[in-house]
Amino acid sequence: MVSRSGGTGRRTGLKIQRGQLHEGSSPSSGNGTTPRFFRCLPIRYRVKRVNTMIDIDFKEGLVPVIAQDHETGEVLMMAFANRESWEMTLKTGIVHYWSRSRKKLWKKGETSGNVQEVKEIRVDCDGDCILIKVNQIGGAACHTGYRSCFYRVVRGDRLEVDGVKVFDPAEKYPAANNPQEK
């Protein structure tokens, strides 16, 4: 389970197997506790783990996730992920978020069909933000029908819509939940 690269006394190159990561033994718990797998390691191993694995800092349980179109570079949306949704994204190759309003795991596009296929995942310097380059199925990320959630631009003291509308939300969502544009 634990490998040591080199045999000179310097411990580097810790690895865990993919299955272990996905079963909840990721090294960064983000809630102040250390998963059992790591608690059993000598401290010198634990210190090294930061440099060698996917270490996400889930501040208060959540991390911001930016979805960017992998071809055009357009920023499509930003939402939050908790550990469960992050691991679901890694497992499935489909982007999952955590819905703060509904307080539940949110597979993006579950209702509309406009899921986001993972093309590349990047992590920032502090490990507290994730950037995912995606193939946006259906051509639109926004629940209002626009390609990007950022369909409004600041002009002077006002916001003006200049985004491209791809679908009519009334056709994608039940009338009771029909989202309103701002």
**Site residues for a copy of itself, window 29-48 (CB under 8 A)?**
none
Asked if 107 touches a copy of itself (CB under 8 A), the answer is no
Residue 62 binds a copy of itself, judged by CB under 8 A: no
Is residue 123 at the binding interface for a copy of itself, with CB under 8 A as the rule? yes
Residue type, 113: G
Shortest distance, position 74 Cβ to a copy of itself, whole Å: 7
Among 25, 127, 137, 138, binds a copy of itself (CB under 8 A): 127
Tell me what percent of the chain is helix, strand and coil, each rounded to the nearest 5. 20, 25, 50
- CA–CA gap between residue 91 and residue 18 (Å, rounded): 9
Q: How far apart are CA 128 and CA 58, in angstroms?
A: 7
Q: Is 164 in the site for a copy of itself (CB under 8 A)?
A: no
> How far apart are alpha carbons 168 and 151 in whole angstroms?
15
Contact flag: residue 115 with a copy of itself (CB under 8 A)? no
Distances (CA, A) of 55 to 17, 120, 128: 15, 17, 9
User: Contact with a copy of itself (CB under 8 A): which of 28, 68, 112, 116?
Assistant: 68
How many degrees, rounded to 5, is the angle at CA 29 between CA 23 and CA 33? 115
Length in residues, the chain:
182
Q: Pick from 53, 94, 137, 166: which binds a copy of itself (CB under 8 A)?
A: 53
| 102 scored as a contact of a copy of itself (CB under 8 A) | no
Rule CB under 8 A: which residues touch a copy of itself? 15-18, 21, 50-55, 64, 66, 68, 72-75, 77-78, 90, 120-127, 129, 131, 142-144, 146, 149-154, 156-159, 179, 181-182
